[in-house]
Structure 1
Amino acid sequence: MNVPTPHMSLARPVIRQLDEAAVNRIAAGEVVERPASAVKELVENALDAGARRIEVAYADGGKTLIRVTDDGCGMSAADLPLALSRHATSKIDGSDLLAIHSFGFRGEALPSLGAVGRLTITSRVEGAEAARIAVAGGREEAVRPAALSGGTVVELRDLFYATPARLKFLRGDRAEAQAIADVVRRLAMAEPYVGFTLRDESGGEGRVILRADAEQGELFGALQARLSRILGREFADNSLPIDAEREGMRLTGYAALPTYSRGAAVEQFLFVNGRPVRDKLLIGALRAAYMDFLSRDRHPAAALFLTCDPQAVDVNVHPAKAEVRFREPGIARGLIVSALRHALAGAGHRASSTVAGETLGAMRPETVGAPRVYQMDRPSLGAVRTAWEFQAPQPALAPELAEASARYEMPEPAPAGLPLGAARAQLHENYIIAQTETGMVIVDQHAAHERLVYERLKAQRAGNGVPAQALLIPEIVDLSQGDAARLLELAPELARLGLVLEPFGGGAVAVRETPAILGTINAAALIRDILDELADLGDSQQLQARIDAVLSRMACHGSVRSGRQMRPEEMNALLREMEATPHSGQCNHGRPTYVELKLADIERLFGRR
C-alpha cells in the first residue's frame, strides 16, 4: 500500500510568488536568530558608519527593547526608505563579492528586523536635518522630521511580535542578555579604538553592564588594554603577544600561557579581518598549538586576529557571517600553529601568575576581625648579622650553644640573574625550595624533570624522525572513495610520523608501515579516528598525539621519581635546566611545575603587611 508523503498534497502543487512580507520574514529567520543576532547586525552597521562611540541598551533580554546609538556618519532622509529595502547597501557595488572590507554587505539586516519587530530609525548627516522612519511587521511609515544632533539611533521593540512562534524558541531573559553581552564584548575586542557601553534598561533601571572607553596608543598596547578591561587583568598578565606573518597572512593578538587554561572554551576569541568568527579550522588550529601542553579536559585562552587580503577569504558562506572559507586553509592553519608554538617556546619556564594566587589562597587562613598590621622596615644584611651576634647565647651560660653559633654561617644570598634562584632545601623528598632575589620558589621535582625529559625526547624525534616498522602482511582498510582520497592527500605527512599508506584500488588503502614506538596497533581504528578528525576540524593530530603520549609516558618513567633525595648540586642543576628549557613551567599534563611566591606575599601571610 502506498502511503502518501506527509509533506506533499495529493493535488498538483501550484507555484506561487510569495509576497514581500513573507519573503522578509523567511529571510529574517536566517539573519536574526535571537536578540543577540539583532544587536550584532546593528553594532556592525554602526562600525561601518565610522562610529567612535556606540551605546547598546536592551530590556528583558532584548525581547522588548534593543537600542543602538552611534556617532557615525548617519543617513539622510532620502536614504532611510532605501535602507529598509532588501539587498540595498552602501558597503559594496556588487561587482566583486570577494572584495569586502566592511562588516555588513548583504543589505538584509534592517528589512529583516522591520519584518519581525517594530523598528524605528532616527538619523542625521552633517549639514542636514534629522529624519525618522518606522516600520512594524513589514508595514513601513513615511519619513518624518526628527530631533538628533548627529549619528544614528536604531530602536527595535517587540522582537518577533510578527512571528510569535519564534518567541517560543527563545531562552530566558538572563540567557539572552548573556548572549548580547558576549556579542558586544567580541565586537569591542575587534575595535579597541571605539568606545562601547552596554546598558540593561529592564524595569527602567538603566544598569551599566559593560563600559569600555576608546583606547589610545599603538595597536598592541591598545589591544592589551581592551582585553584587560573585557577579559580581566589576569588574562592580560598571563598572555603572550602574537605577531607573525606568512604568505600574505598576518596573525596578531594575545595567547595565554598553558597554566592559565580554562575548563571550557569560553575564552577563545577568533577574528578574520576584524570580523568575529566561529570557524572550525581556526579552533582546530588553536587546539593543535596547545596539544602538547594541556590535558583533554582543559582549553586554551586566546584572542587572535587573522588579517589577509579579502580575496583570500570568503565571508559570504552563511547569512550570519560567522563562518568563513579560506582559499588556502593550510596557510592559515599553519600560521596559527607555528606562531603560537613559537610564542610558547619563547616564554621559556614562565608559568602563570594565577598559580601563586591560588597557592596563597589555599594557604591563607580565614581572618577573624581586622588583621594586625606591623610597621617594620626590612633590615639590611649588616643589621641582620649584628642582631644575630647580639642574640647569641653567652659562653658562660651555654657553652655548647655558643660553639654552635660560632660554627653557623649565614646563607649566601640568591645569585642575581637566576629566575628560579638557588636551591636551599628539599621537603618530603619531592619538593625543592629555592630562594630567589624577590622571594622563593617551590618546585615539584618529578613534574619538572618529566617535562625536561619529554622535551629531550621530542628534540630527538624531530632530529631523527619517527622510526617505522614494516608490517609482514599489509593491513587493508576499506573506505569510501572520498575518505580514501582525503587520507592519501595526507600520506606524505603521515609517512614522516611513521605511518606509510598506499592506494589499494577503489576506496581501499594499504597500511605498509606503522610507527615503531606505538608497538602493535589497530591500524584501521587509527585511520578512522584520523578521518573523523579531518571531517570535524579539517586537519588531524591523532597520530602525532598518540606518539607524543608514548613519549610522555617514557618521560614519566625516565624522570626523577618522587621520594628520591637529591643533593644540592642536583637540585641546582635541575633549576638551571628548567630555566633553559621551553615549556618547563608546566608538566606534560598542563599542571604547573613550580610555584613562585614573592616575599611581600609571604609577609602578608604572617600579617606583616
Structure 2
Amino acid sequence: MNAPDHNIRPDLAARPPRIRRLSEAAANRIAAGEVIERPAAAVKELVENALDAGARRIDIHIADGGKTLIRVGDDGDGMSAAELPLALERHATSKIDGSDLLAIRTFGFRGEALPSMAAVGRMKLTSRASGAAEAWSIEARGGDLASPRPAARSVGTEVELRDLFYVTPARLKFLRTDRAEAQAVTEAVKRLAMAAPDVGFTLNDASAGDVRAVFRAEPETGDLFDARLGRLRRVLGPGFAENALAIDAEREGLRLTGWAALPTYSRGSARQQFLFVNGRPVTDRLMTGALRAAYADLLPRDRHPAAALFFAADPERVDVNVHPAKTEVRFREPALARGLVVSALRHALAEAGHRASSTVSSAALRAFAPGALGAGPTAPSSAYQRDYRAVSVGATPALAEAGFRFQGPDGPAPEGFDAPTAHAPAETDAAAEAHPLGAARAQLHENYIIAQTRTGMVVVDQHAAHERLVYERLKTALAAQGSPGQALLLPEIVDLAPEDAERVLAIAPELARLGLVLEPFGGGAICVRETPAILGTCDAGRLVRDIADELAEGGAGDAARSRIEAVLSRIACHGSVRSGRRLSGDEMNALLREMEATPHSGQCNHGRPTYIELSLAEIEKLFGRR
C-alpha cells in the first residue's frame, strides 16, 4: 500500500490518526447539524412535540427569523420536575419504548430534537404537568444543564430558545437573511396547521421589539374532512377551497383523502403541493411525480397542479425513520401508493366534467374594470372593421346556407366521427338556458360563442373547446379498438432529420392504432400511407412534423403513455374546428351540449380555460347597477 501523501493532507504528517470517543458536547453539536439545520427546523420539532403532547392551542414567537428567539408554548400534558433533565438527554423520549420501530404513531420518536437545540443555543424549558401543583423550569447553555427550579405557568409547556447556533458560529454564516428564514418558519407552521385542523395556531414576529401577528388559525369544527377544508381555506386562501375537488379513495388498506384543484387553477410552481402521511407533513418525489402524472394531459409542462393529499396507512407500511429531520418517508408498496394517487385524482377530475375554476371569471372581471384595457383608439380602423361584427344566432340565412360541419382544416370529417348535431326537435330557449352552459346567442370574431344561462352568460373559445372534445374522443377510441384510418390515394413522403424520424417510427405501432400509418422510406424520410379518419382531409406532412416536434420536446425520458397522450393532443389540434369558422346556431348549441357531457372540457389540451362564465350580478356590477 502506498504511503499517504502528506502534501495533500498535511495534518496526517503532524500526528498519526487514532480512534477516540468524541465528547458528549461534540456529539450533540454534530447531531444538531442533522436535526436542526435552520430555525424553521427547530420550530417544526417544537410544534410537533406540542402536538404529541395533546395541545389544543400552540403559540409561536420568533425574532430575527428565529436566529435570536424561538418561543413555542402549548397547553398540552406538560412534564414533571423529574422529567425536565431527562427531556434534554439524547435518545430519551416518551413517544416509543424502543421495542417496535415500525409502529410509530407520533411525530417524534428519536429523542434528539431538544438535546440538539440545547447543544447549540440557550434554552429555557418551563412546564407544568396536568394535575401538578406547580410548574418547573430548567436552563441549558451550549449543552450545559442547570438544576430544575420552581416557576409560574399554567398546564402545558413553553420552550424558549435564544441565540441559535451561537456555539457553532460557522453554521450561522450559512443561514439566509432574516426575512428568508422567517418565511421558512411560516411555511413550516402552515404545513403543521394543515395537518392538525382541530388545533389553534398563532405565529408572531417579535423582531426589533415590535410584536407582529404573522399567522393565526382558530381550531376548525366539524368532521375531519370539513375541518381540513376549512383549514386549507385559511392557509391557502378561499380561491383554493372554491376550486378544489374532494378526494376520497382506498385500495388494499391504503386510504387517500384530501383536495386537488381544478386544472385551470394551476400554479407557476409546485409550492401549493402538500403531502401528509398519517398526519405528518412530508416530501416524497414518488408522490410528487404521481400528482404530476394525474394531470399529465391537462396541464402544460410549465404549470403545476395545486393539491393537499392525506395518506392514512398502518404505520408498519410506511418507514418514517429515513432521515433525522423526519421529512421523508418510504412506502413499503410504492407502486400501490402511486397508483392510488393517479387513479383517485383522475377519477375526481373526470367527475368534475366541464367545470372550470372561478379564478377564470375573476380575471375576466378585472380585465373589464375601468382602465384595465389601457389607452387605445376609440374606434377600430377600417382595416379591422370586419373583425368586430357579431353574428346573431338565426339572424341571417347565410349561417344555414354555409352548411358548416365540425371538421378538419381542409374538409369535413367522415361519417361517424362528426361532432354531435343539434337536438331534434330543437330545444326552446328556456330549455336550452337551463343547461350549465346555456343557449348560444351569438358568435364574435368567428371564434367566441356567447351563450345565455338563467343566471348570467358564458363566453366559449370554440377552437379550444373542440380541441379538447376531439382529444377525449381520440383517447376513448385508442383505449377501445383504435381509430380507423383513411388511405391516401398517393402516399406522401415526409423528410425529417434522421433523429426525428427515428423517434416517430419508434411509436409507429401506437400511431397505427390512431389511424396514422407510417413506414420508413430510407434516411430521414417517412412514407405516410393513411391518416386518421377523424381528421378528414389533412396536411399529412405538417401532422408528422408536429408529432416529431412533440416527441423532441418531450425528451426520451418521458413515459410511453405521456408521449402518446402528447401526440394525441397534437393530432386533436389538427382535427378541431379552427378559429375564423362561422358556425350556425345549432352547431354552437351542439358544441355546448357535448362540452357538458365530456370530462375535462373546462380546459383545452394546453391547460387554458375553454370558457368564461359571468353571473348576472357580476355583469350588473360592471355597469354600476349594484
TM-score under structure 1 normalisation?
A: 0.81
SS of 1:110's partner is helix
In structure 1, the gaps of 5 or more residues are: 368-410, 468-493, 500-515, 534-540
The 5-angstrom pairing of residues 390-409 of structure 1 reads none
Query: Counterparts of 2:317 and 2:11 in 1: how far apart (Å)?
Result: 43
2:345 corresponds to 1:345? no
Q: 1:573 aligns with which of 573, 576, 590?
A: 590
Give the CA RMSD over aligned residues: 2.4
SS of 1:13's partner is coil
Residues 554-600 of structure 1: CA deviation (Å, up to 9, x unaligned)? 10010111000000000000000000000000000000000001111
Query: Counterparts of 1:465 and 1:71 in 2: how far apart (Å)?
Result: 63
Q: 1:38 aligns with which of 39, 42, 47?
A: 42
1:376 matched residue in structure 2: none
Query: Counterparts of 1:3 and 1:117 in 2: how far apart (Å)?
Result: 39
Query: Counterparts of 1:117 and 1:148 in 2: how far apart (Å)?
Result: 23
The verdict on how the C-alpha distance between 1:498 and 1:32 changes in structure 2, with shifts beyond 3 A counting, is farther
User: Does the aligned pair in 2 maintain the 1:414–1:436 contact within 8 Å?
Assistant: no
SS of 1:183's partner is helix
Give the superposition deviation at 1:266. Answer: 1.1
SS of 2:264's partner is coil
User: Does the aligned pair in 2 maintain the 1:282–1:333 contact within 8 Å?
Assistant: yes
SS of 1:9's partner is helix
2:527 matched residue in structure 1: none
User: Does the aligned pair in 2 maintain the 1:465–1:497 contact within 8 Å?
Assistant: no
Q: Which amino acid aligns with 1:208?
A: A
User: Does the aligned pair in 2 maintain the 1:529–1:542 contact within 8 Å?
Assistant: no
1:104 matched residue in structure 2: 108
Give the superposition deviation at 1:549. Answer: 1.4
Give the superposition deviation at 1:88. Answer: 0.5
Query: Counterparts of 1:495 and 1:312 in 2: how far apart (Å)?
Result: 41
1:426 matched residue in structure 2: 443
Give the superposition deviation at 1:417. Answer: 3.5
Give the superposition deviation at 1:546. Answer: 1.4
Q: 1:301 aligns with which of 281, 284, 306?
A: 306
Query: Counterparts of 2:478 and 2:349 in 1: how far apart (Å)?
Result: 19
1:26 matched residue in structure 2: 30
1:363 matched residue in structure 2: 368
Q: How many residues align?
A: 512
Residues 7-28 of structure 1: CA deviation (Å, up to 9, x unaligned)? 8613431111100000000000
Residues 124-182 of structure 1: CA deviation (Å, up to 9, x unaligned)? 01222211001010111011111111100000000000101100000001000000000
Q: Which amino acid aligns with 1:77?
A: A
SS of 2:473's partner is helix
1:141 matched residue in structure 2: 146
Q: Which amino acid aligns with 2:281?
A: P
Query: Counterparts of 1:60 and 1:426 in 2: how far apart (Å)?
Result: 58
2:9 corresponds to 1:6? yes
The verdict on how the C-alpha distance between 1:133 and 1:583 changes in structure 2, with shifts beyond 3 A counting, is same
Give the superposition deviation at 1:215. Answer: 0.5
Give the superposition deviation at 1:219. Answer: 1.4
Query: Counterparts of 1:363 and 1:117 in 2: how far apart (Å)?
Result: 55
User: Does the aligned pair in 2 maintain the 1:414–1:437 contact within 8 Å?
Assistant: no
2:276 matched residue in structure 1: 271
Q: Which amino acid aligns with 1:545?
A: S
The verdict on how the C-alpha distance between 1:448 and 1:115 changes in structure 2, with shifts beyond 3 A counting, is same
Query: Counterparts of 2:260 and 2:509 in 1: how far apart (Å)?
Result: 29
Q: 1:95 aligns with which of 99, 117, 122?
A: 99
2:573 matched residue in structure 1: 556
Give the superposition deviation at 1:415. Answer: 3.3
User: Does the aligned pair in 2 maintain the 1:121–1:152 contact within 8 Å?
Assistant: yes
Q: Which amino acid aligns with 1:150?
A: V
TM-score under structure 2 normalisation?
A: 0.79
1:536 matched residue in structure 2: none
Give the superposition deviation at 1:498. Answer: 9.0
1:215 matched residue in structure 2: 220
2:449 corresponds to 1:445? no
User: Does the aligned pair in 2 maintain the 1:414–1:435 contact within 8 Å?
Assistant: no
Residues 505-526 of structure 1: CA deviation (Å, up to 9, x unaligned)? xxxxxxxxxxx9998999xx99
Query: Counterparts of 1:41 and 1:7 in 2: how far apart (Å)?
Result: 40
> Identity, % of aligned pairs?
69
Query: Counterparts of 1:331 and 1:529 in 2: how far apart (Å)?
Result: 27
2:161 corresponds to 1:178? no
The 5-angstrom pairing of residues 147-186 of structure 1 reads 147-186=152-191
In structure 2, the gaps of 5 or more residues are: 373-427, 485-506, 513-529, 533-542
Q: Which amino acid aligns with 2:206?
A: E
Query: Counterparts of 1:101 and 1:464 in 2: how far apart (Å)?
Result: 49
The 5-angstrom pairing of residues 250-265 of structure 1 reads 250-265=255-270
1:608 matched residue in structure 2: 625
2:375 matched residue in structure 1: none
1:193 matched residue in structure 2: 198
Residues 2-55 of structure 1: CA deviation (Å, up to 9, x unaligned)? 844438613431111100000000000000000000000000000000000001
Q: 2:318 aligns with which of 313, 320, 326?
A: 313
The verdict on how the C-alpha distance between 1:545 and 1:131 changes in structure 2, with shifts beyond 3 A counting, is same
Q: 1:82 aligns with which of 82, 86, 104?
A: 86
Q: Which amino acid aligns with 2:562?
A: A
